[in-house]
Structure 1
Amino acid sequence: MRYSRICVLALAALLGTPAAGPAQTPPAAVPEAQPGPQPVQPAPPPGPVTPQPVAPAPSLPTPAEPQPVRPPPTLPPPGQSLPAPPAQQQTSAPDPNATLAGKRGDASDIDEVTLVAKPVLLLSGQARWDEGFQRLSESFETLRAEAGKAGLPIAGRPLSLFVETSDDGFRFDAMLPVAVPAGGQPPSFGAGVRLGESPAGKALRFLHVAPYDDIDSTYETIAAYLDAKSIAVKDAFLEEYVSDLKDPGDPNLEINVYVQPR
């Protein structure tokens, strides 16, 4: 049986010196009284008074114009919190080449990874082994066309979940990860395409880098590893096509094969 794929100012008051009073001339000496009445000599008039200069009062600075007072920010009513700042709009576009494991595999090693479910367009089908490559390739073209009609950006590499195998052929679910907007009515699709999710959970990732015709040898390696480690796995294997399915004889064809333990 074949195995299946997958962030201020201060002032000083300067006052002038006060004006001096009129200068007083000392009285003339009174001669010693002579016998008999003597006439009284009037005192000479006072001399001219020279006024003293008075320092002018300092000029005061012109008061500055009052600045407008800004009102305080409006606060929410008691018991209510301030509104949260608007969320930043996400500008990064989905990556059509993103893989489920998030990093490139190593053909000489086996990775333990955790798969996260992604929204996918899904198309079920079946094929004989000798026409499998072509049927899968055609299925992915159909899924890409439906994603384009619905305006859904592609968000990852195409996948095939092999749900049943026999000596004659296999049944599969072809999947294409897409970015689905939150809310709203999901679009309708034709050609048997529907919206679904990719598998999630722990998995072992094996890397196949060789022509598609040689993929049986990769599955033989997988079977031997699971046998040696006594690992029971789910019947459905998941293949992820890192390379486009154009030429089954391409020696650099890269496929991630995910096997999920029970």
Structure 2
Amino acid sequence: MVRPFRAVSAVAVAIALSVGGSAVAQTTTDTPPPSGQSTPAPTPPPAATPETSKEMQSPADVGKADAHGDITLAPPESVTLTARPVLFVTGKSTWDDAEEGIGNAVNAIFAAIAKGNLKAAGSAMIEYLDSGDEEFQFKAMVPIEAAPAKAPGKDVKVGQSPAGPALKFVHQGAFEDLEEVYNRIDDFLVAKSLNMKKVYEEYVTDPTVTAPEKMITNIYVVTE
């Protein structure tokens, strides 16, 4: 079973997930703007557009933390993900260095998008390729409007986003809650006699402009 051993998103996804022709990634480091300039607010990314087998869940249906900090998680949707062109970077990191590892990967992707005069076309995604007690392997992806003939970056490659059937869980709340969200997902899969084969996280909202309790993270689980 491939799943995040820790809630890596709590540290790794504090990057700006805004999209568009001039989108750039940001980290949680508080860097003041140049003198006399104000920092523009990033543009929130559009929500994902998978083909679903039923209507999308309403905000009241998504998993979120209650007043006592307990996590509730609505049953997932069965969806069919549609492949889209992406730029991606694969990497390996320890859990302690997750923010730096994933942040560098996403920064490299947005730099390649800018260098190639490309346009981002969706929210950043992370696929967990393998995970253990001390480290994990990942694939960072950003959808783009059209695939270039070649990747405009040294370590950045051109590929396709995930495609095919998956279970879509929606978490509304702080990234710090994701570890418990995965525990609830595990419970659901065990009850249904399903095994987690692959897992992807999609960061729908921008953590730099969205309150923690309103953050939306889509979790796509491919089962076997």
Which TM-score applies when normalising by structure 2? Answer: 0.66
> Structure 1 residues 115 and 241 mapped into 2: Cα distance closer, same or farther (>3 Å)?
same
Match of 2:164 in 1: 201
- The separation in 2 between residues aligned to 1:219 and 1:137, in whole angstroms, is 22
Give the Å deviation of 1:166: 0.1
Any stretches of 5+ residues in structure 2 without a counterpart? 10-19, 22-43, 64-73
* Aligned: 1:150 with 2:116: yes
- The separation in 2 between residues aligned to 1:244 and 1:192, in whole angstroms, is 25
- The separation in 1 between residues aligned to 2:158 and 2:219, in whole angstroms, is 23
* Aligned: 1:115 with 2:78: no
Check conservation: 2:45, 2:205, Cα contact below 8 A: no
Match of 1:216 in 2: 179
* Aligned: 1:99 with 2:59: no
What is the identity, as a one-letter code, of the residue corresponding to 1:254?
I
Runs of 4+ deviating beyond 4 Å: 93-96, 102-105
Give the Å deviation of 1:244: 2.9
Give the Å deviation of 1:100: 4.2
Equivalent residue pairs, number:
172
Which stretch has the larger CA shift, 206-215 or 100-109? 100-109
Give secondary structure in 1 for the equivalent of 2:120.
Answer: coil
Check conservation: 2:172, 2:215, Cα contact below 8 A: yes
Check conservation: 1:111, 1:205, Cα contact below 8 A: yes
- The separation in 1 between residues aligned to 2:80 and 2:214, in whole angstroms, is 26
Which stretch has the larger CA shift, 117-126 or 250-259? 250-259
Match of 1:252 in 2: 214
What is the identity, as a one-letter code, of the residue corresponding to 2:3?
Y
Match of 1:76 in 2: none
Check conservation: 1:137, 1:246, Cα contact below 8 A: no
> Structure 1 residues 245 and 96 mapped into 2: Cα distance closer, same or farther (>3 Å)?
closer
Specify which structure has the higher proportion of helix: 2
What is the identity, as a one-letter code, of the residue corresponding to 1:243?
T
- The separation in 1 between residues aligned to 2:219 and 2:156, in whole angstroms, is 24
- The separation in 2 between residues aligned to 1:220 and 1:211, in whole angstroms, is 15
Percent identity between the aligned chains? Answer: 30
Check conservation: 1:2, 1:167, Cα contact below 8 A: no
* Aligned: 1:137 with 2:103: yes
Check conservation: 1:160, 1:238, Cα contact below 8 A: yes
Specify which structure has the higher proportion of strand: 2
- The separation in 2 between residues aligned to 1:226 and 1:216, in whole angstroms, is 15
* Aligned: 1:238 with 2:200: yes
CA root-mean-square deviation: 3.1
Check conservation: 2:121, 2:145, Cα contact below 8 A: yes
- The separation in 2 between residues aligned to 1:147 and 1:243, in whole angstroms, is 20
Check conservation: 2:173, 2:214, Cα contact below 8 A: yes
> Structure 1 residues 246 and 130 mapped into 2: Cα distance closer, same or farther (>3 Å)?
farther
Give the Å deviation of 1:219: 0.6
